[in-house]
Structure 1
Amino acid sequence: MIEYANILLVEDDASLAQWVREYLQEHGFNVAHIARGDEVVEHIKQHEADLVLLDIMLPGMDGIDVCKALRKISNVPIIMMTARADEFDEVVGLEVGANDYVIKPVRPRALLARIKAILRMQETNPVRNLNELMFGKLHINGDSKRVTYQGQNIELSTSLFSLLWLLASNAGTVLDRDAVFKALIGREYDGLDRRMDVLVSNLRKKFNDNPQEPKKFKTIWGKGYLFIADAWDE
Structure 2
Amino acid sequence: MCAYVLLAEDDPKQAELVRRYLSHEQHTVRVVADGRSAIDEVRRQRPDLLVLDVMMPGVDGLDVCRVLRREYDLPVLMVTARASADDKLLGFDLGADDYLTKPYDPRELMARIRSLLRRSQPASGPAAPPLRTGDLTVDVLRHEVWVGDKPVACTPAEFRILSTLVGSPGQVFSRAQLLEHAYGLDGFITERTIDVHVRNLRKKIEADPASPELLQTVYGIGYKVADGRRRAG
User: TM-score band, normalised by the shorter chain?
Assistant: 0.7 to 0.9
Instruction: From 65, 68, 71, give the equivalent of 1:70.
Output: 68
C-alpha distance in 1 between matches for 2:102 and 2:147: 35
Question: 1:132-211 maps to which residues of 2 (within 5 A)?
Answer: 133-135=132-134, 138-140=135-137, 142=139, 145-147=145-147, 158=155, 159-160=157-158, 162-188=160-186, 192-200=190-198, 207-209=209-211
CA–CA distance in 2 between the matches of 1:105 and 1:219? 37
Where structure 1 has 5 or more consecutive residues not aligned to the other structure, the ranges are none
Cα distance 1:183–1:191, how it changes in 2: closer, same or farther (>3 A)?
A: closer
Within-5 A mapping of 1:44-83: 44-83=42-81
Which residue identity lines up with residue 37 of structure 2 in the other structure? E
Unaligned residue ranges in structure 2 (runs of 5+): 229-233
1:87 to partner: Cα distance: 2.7
Quote the Cα distance in structure 2 between the aligned partners of 1:35 and 1:11. Answer: 5
- Partners in 2 of 1:220 and 1:154 — Cα distance? 32
* Cα separation, 1, equivalents of 2:96 and 2:6: 14
Asked whether the 8 Å contact 1:79–1:99 carries over to 2, the reply is yes
Task: Tell me whether 1:217 sits opposite 2:217 in the alignment.
Answer: yes
* Distance across 2 between alignment mates of 1:70 and 1:192: 24
Give the Å deviation of 1:77.
0.8
Distance 1:160 1:68, change over 3 A: same
1:125: how far off? 2.6
Instruction: Measure the CA separation in 1 of the matches of 2:189 and 2:97.
Output: 18
Of 106, 113, 133, which residue of structure 2 is paired with 1:115? 113
User: Deviation of residue 171 (structure 1)?
Assistant: 1.6
Secondary structure, aligned partner of 1:133: strand
Shift of 1:204: 6.3
Task: Find the aligned partners of 1:114 and 1:42 in 2 and give their Cα distance.
Answer: 25
**Deviation of 1:176 (Å):** 4.2
Q: Deviations over 1:17-53 (max 9, x none)?
A: 1111112222222211000100122212333511000
Identity of aligned residues (%): 32
The residue identity in structure 2 corresponding to 1:131 is P
Normalised by the length of structure 1, the TM-score is 0.75
CA–CA distance in structure 2, aligned partners of residues 189 and 68 of structure 1: 23
Q: Could you tell me how far 1:175 is from its partner in structure 2? A: 2.8
CA offset at residue 114 of structure 1? 1.1
Query: TM (normalized to structure 2)?
Result: 0.75
- Determine whether 1:104 maps to 2:102: yes
More divergent stretch after superposition (44-53 vs 197-206): 197-206
- In structure 2, the CA distance between the partners of 1:27 and 1:50, relative to structure 1 (3 Å rule), is same
Residue 82 of structure 2 aligns to a residue in which SS?
coil
> Residue 9 of structure 2 aligns with which residue?
11
Provide the C-alpha distance between the structure 1 equivalents of 2:21 and 2:38, rounded to a whole number of angstroms. 22
- 2:130 counterpart letter in structure 1: N
Cα displacement string for residues 114-155 of structure 1 (whole angstroms, at most 9, x for unaligned residues): 1111111222538x99836233xx53455653447xx9x898
Structure 2 Cα separation of the partners of residues 52 and 130 of structure 1 = 30
Mean CA deviation greater in 107-116 or 87-96: 87-96
Query: Take 1:160 and 1:102, find their aligned partners in 2: how far apart are those partners?
Result: 19
2:92–2:98: 8 Å Cα contact kept in structure 1?
Answer: yes
